[in-house]
Amino acid sequence: MNHQRRTGEPSYLEPFVRSDRILVKEGEYFYRTRECDMIGPFATISEARYDLNMFVEVSEIEKEINAIVC
Protein backbone atom coordinates (compact mmCIF):
# COMPACT_ATOMS: atom_id res chain seq x y z
CA MET A 1 0.00 0.00 0.00
CA ASN A 2 1.06 3.52 -0.70
CA HIS A 3 0.68 6.27 1.96
CA GLN A 4 0.78 9.73 0.44
CA ARG A 5 -0.97 13.08 0.35
CA ARG A 6 -3.19 14.06 -2.54
CA THR A 7 -2.23 17.16 -4.48
CA GLY A 8 -3.52 20.25 -2.68
CA GLU A 9 -4.51 18.33 0.44
CA PRO A 10 -3.84 20.18 3.73
CA SER A 11 -0.89 18.84 5.72
CA TYR A 12 -2.99 18.43 8.89
CA LEU A 13 -5.09 15.68 7.28
CA GLU A 14 -3.97 12.08 7.49
CA PRO A 15 -2.55 10.81 4.19
CA PHE A 16 -4.84 8.50 2.25
CA VAL A 17 -3.96 4.87 1.61
CA ARG A 18 -3.94 3.59 -1.96
CA SER A 19 -3.91 -0.14 -2.42
CA ASP A 20 -2.81 -1.82 -5.60
CA ARG A 21 -5.84 -1.92 -7.86
CA ILE A 22 -4.21 -4.07 -10.55
CA LEU A 23 -5.04 -7.77 -10.38
CA VAL A 24 -3.91 -10.71 -12.50
CA LYS A 25 -6.21 -13.62 -13.25
CA GLU A 26 -5.30 -16.42 -15.66
CA GLY A 27 -2.63 -14.27 -17.30
CA GLU A 28 -4.94 -11.29 -17.91
CA TYR A 29 -4.87 -7.97 -16.08
CA PHE A 30 -7.80 -6.22 -14.45
CA TYR A 31 -8.24 -3.22 -12.19
CA ARG A 32 -10.73 -2.62 -9.44
CA THR A 33 -12.62 0.65 -9.04
CA ARG A 34 -13.59 2.16 -5.68
CA GLU A 35 -17.07 0.80 -6.36
CA CYS A 36 -15.46 -2.67 -6.56
CA ASP A 37 -16.15 -3.08 -10.28
CA MET A 38 -13.60 -5.21 -12.13
CA ILE A 39 -12.49 -3.61 -15.40
CA GLY A 40 -10.66 -5.62 -18.04
CA PRO A 41 -9.24 -7.89 -19.22
CA PHE A 42 -6.07 -6.25 -20.52
CA ALA A 43 -3.22 -8.07 -22.25
CA THR A 44 -0.48 -6.25 -20.30
CA ILE A 45 -0.10 -4.52 -16.98
CA SER A 46 0.83 -1.33 -18.86
CA GLU A 47 -2.52 -1.35 -20.66
CA ALA A 48 -4.36 -1.89 -17.37
CA ARG A 49 -2.46 0.96 -15.66
CA TYR A 50 -3.07 3.30 -18.60
CA ASP A 51 -6.80 2.56 -18.59
CA LEU A 52 -6.96 2.95 -14.81
CA ASN A 53 -5.27 6.36 -15.05
CA MET A 54 -7.75 7.42 -17.76
CA PHE A 55 -10.64 6.18 -15.60
CA VAL A 56 -9.42 8.25 -12.64
CA GLU A 57 -8.93 11.37 -14.79
CA VAL A 58 -12.41 11.09 -16.32
CA SER A 59 -13.93 10.53 -12.87
CA GLU A 60 -12.24 13.71 -11.59
CA ILE A 61 -13.47 15.72 -14.59
CA GLU A 62 -17.01 14.41 -14.05
CA LYS A 63 -16.87 15.54 -10.40
CA GLU A 64 -15.76 19.02 -11.48
CA ILE A 65 -18.57 19.26 -14.04
CA ASN A 66 -21.15 18.08 -11.51
CA ALA A 67 -19.93 20.69 -9.01
CA ILE A 68 -20.46 23.44 -11.58
CA VAL A 69 -23.85 22.20 -12.78
CA CYS A 70 -25.34 21.48 -9.36
Q: What is residue 49's predicted lDDT score, i.e. its pLDDT?
A: 94
Q: What is the pLDDT of residues 3-51, one digit of tens each?
A: 555 566 566 655 545 568 899 999 999 999 988 899 999 999 999 999 9
pLDDT score for 13: 57
| Paired strand residues for 16 | 4
Better pLDDT: 69 or 37: 37
Please give the full DSSP string across 5-51, using - where no structure is assigned: PPTT--TTSPPEEE---EEEETTEEEEE-TT--EEEEESSHHHHHHH
Domain count, the chain: 1
Determine the structural domain holding residue 37 and report its residue range.
2-69
| pLDDT attached to residue 2 | 47
> Is the pLDDT assigned to residue 58 strictly greater than 90?
yes
